[in-house]
Amino acid sequence: MSEVAAPPSTTTARVNRAAWYAGSVLAAFLVGGIVIVLLGLNPVVAFESVITTSFSTGFGFVETLHKWVPIVLCAYAFTIPLASGKFNIGAEGQLLVGATAGVALGITGSDLPPLLLVPAVLIAGVLGGAVWSGIAAFLMVRFGVNEILSTVLLNFVAFELIDYVASYVWPDRGAGHPATIPVGENAMLPGFGEPAVHAGVLITLLLSVAIGLAMRSTAAGFELRATGANPRAASVHGIRTSRLTAGGMLVGGAVAGLGGAIEVAGVHGNMLEGMQSNFLILGIIVGLMARGNAVAVPFVAFGIAVLEVGASAMQRSAQVPIEVVLIVEALILLFLMLSDVLRSKLGSRS
């Protein structure tokens, strides 16, 4: 039997939505180009550097993939709880606690064989992130504490935690800034290819597929989305909404913690202050751009990773400040939101 084609109205709606989204991206780059012109610089050279850096050399592509990993994992840390109507703003702290757990095991268990130590480091990161988000989940379910407030405040506690570990527990005195001593070589993720891509990229890719399938095709994914759409109706139909929202927070924290462990075992080889970069903000931007769609998250995250890697090249080749890329990213999100409003108004008029 031949596959049934989508109704014309559905296909038209998807094409229309894609056109609005493409227009939003082009408008963001146009406004960014105007900003660059006002700075007295060349926008063509600037944006050419941004777009081509990730694909012009093998090193640039590998750097983009390595940047993609924490961005997509932090995006999932935001998107998974968002499906149940909860806002996890703590991916930053969860990533750092996962990194702390991973580095602790990577240092203390450095004599273990790689076959045992590498998975143990990653699992430690997952558990560390889950425990950190679990604190917010417990406060939310047991005492009704707003998860936005608790996750934001827990970020600051995580900052102090990594500072203590990097300065007093396993400090690297020669680093010049708070950083731990390196983990054992057996704790580092294997790489493949030349230049080498660490195995965390493959792990993240497989995890993205698993999350997409789970959110789309499992009962738990359906119940999570039903809870976010209408908690009261979900509860009436027997869905244990409090358990689901807490579970979403735990899974989100676990994914962010895995990102921290991968950063330790795949990129830095230790834990250092500032390793969280701006992954929290980028993860939230990606989650909002993807409209909470778990399948779309890795693709949007890759586009943001391209912009992030290209920002440094833009500064070198066109002397354009890196902050211009942040402006473009924010404008993309802003124009996407405005496009939804405009489409809604035009649709109601028609």
- Are 118 and 189 spatial neighbours (Cβ–Cβ below 8 Å)? yes
Closest CA to 61 of 193, 216, 253: 193
Q: How far is CA 305 from CA 65, 66, 269, in A?
A: 8, 9, 21
> Which residues make beta-bridge pairs with 171?
180
- The ranges assigned to domains in the chain are 64-298
| Alpha carbon distance 211, 82 (integer Å) | 14
Dump pLDDT digits (tens) for 15-67.
Answer: 877 888 889 989 999 999 999 999 999 999 999 988 899 998 999 999 999 99
Amino acid at site 29: F
| Alpha carbon distance 105, 253 (integer Å) | 19
Query: Do you know the residue count of the chain?
Result: 350
- How many CB atoms are closer than 10 A to CB 100? 27
Q: What is the DSSP letter of 90?
A: -
Q: How confident is the chain (350 residues) per 10-residue block, as mean pLDDT?
A: 47 78 91 94 91 91 97 98 96 98 97 96 98 98 96 97 95 91 97 93 98 94 92 88 94 98 97 92 93 94 94 86 89 88 74
pTM above 0.85, yes or no: yes
| Alpha carbon distance 35, 31 (integer Å) | 6
| Alpha carbon distance 85, 103 (integer Å) | 33
| Alpha carbon distance 176, 174 (integer Å) | 6
Check residue 345 and give its pLDDT.
Answer: 78
Check residue 9 and give its pLDDT.
Answer: 56
Q: How far is CA 1 from CA 4, 7, 83, in A?
A: 9, 17, 35
In the chain, where do the E strands start and end? 191-192, 197-198
| Alpha carbon distance 97, 126 (integer Å) | 9
Check residue 313 and give its pLDDT.
Answer: 86
- Are 304 and 330 spatial neighbours (Cβ–Cβ below 8 Å)? no
Q: How far apart are the first and last CA of the chain?
A: 37
